[in-house]
Chain A
């Protein structure tokens, strides 16, 4: 069974601060896929990134960066120089090799104050 833990329930920062969201996962699969999704106040789920278990390279996309560490089963997400528009709930998710569904963490609510 797949399990995703997002220990941080809520994070509040002031604009321009960096914020890091933790994600720890459990799986017995050798091949698996990790995802981050953003859910802004409007409610839709927006895909941010997918990473497979064989690709441990960190990734940067604009102000977003992801740190995948297989040794600690973590896939953390950092928002650099946060903006008010980054206020949302962020979900980490995992799917296994033969598992077509996504298992989501409980989500972390990020509030960026002006």
Chain B
């Protein structure tokens, strides 16, 4: 068990809808990352937060947004969903914002858009 908690485990929704994925980092970790894993794109970095502030942005669509709250949990909001958004979404956390500590991943949220 990595200590990173993601909810829900599975999500099935229709095109055009909006969903929120939630992540609680490991105790003591200040940095949260979101990744998307799809068959065609592999594991892609979306966004990183450190202690409530956005630190780095990857290939995140404008329809997607995220935030990290004062209690350090994070939410990834996906709106105007398309079939191509179906993927496994991972949250990861680390102690620091940089490279001195490895990322520990949650079990992921599997999103299916129908």
Which A residues are closer than 8 A to B by beta carbons?
32-33, 35, 37, 42-47, 50, 52, 91, 95-97, 99-107
Q: Would B105 and A45 count as touching, CB distance under 8 A? A: yes
* A45 to B91 alpha-carbon distance, docked (Å): 10
Q: Kindly list chain A residues whose C-beta atoms are within 8 Å of the C-beta of B42.
A: 104-107
Chain A: CB-nearest residue to B106: A44
Q: Would A43 and B99 count as touching, CB distance under 8 A? A: no
Size bin of chain B's contact surface: 20 to 34
Sampled A-B contacts (29; CB under 8 Å): A32-B99, A35-B103, A42-B107, A43-B88, A43-B110, A44-B2, A45-B108, A46-B2, A46-B105, A47-B2, A47-B102, A47-B103, A47-B104, A52-B99, A95-B99, A97-B99, A99-B56, A99-B99, A100-B33, A100-B48, A100-B97, A101-B48, A101-B58, A102-B33, A102-B35, A102-B103, A106-B42, A107-B42, A107-B43
Q: Would B102 and A50 count as touching, CB distance under 8 A? A: yes
Which B residues are closer than 8 A to A by beta carbons?
2, 31, 33, 35, 42-43, 45, 48, 55-56, 58, 88, 90, 92, 97-99, 102-108, 110
Q: Would A47 and B108 count as touching, CB distance under 8 A? A: no
Given A91-B43, A100-B56, A104-B43, A43 and B102 contact (CB-CB distance below 8 Å): no
Given A44-B2, A45-B90, A91-B43, A100 and B102 contact (CB-CB distance below 8 Å): no
* A45 to B56 alpha-carbon distance, docked (Å): 21
Q: Kindly list chain B residues whose C-beta atoms are within 8 Å of the C-beta of A107.
A: 42-43
* A103 to B104 alpha-carbon distance, docked (Å): 15
Interface centre among B55, B58, B103 (most CB of A within 10 A): B103
Q: Kindly list chain B residues whose C-beta atoms are within 8 Å of the C-beta of A50.
A: 102
Chain A: CB-nearest residue to B50: A100
* A89 to B97 alpha-carbon distance, docked (Å): 27
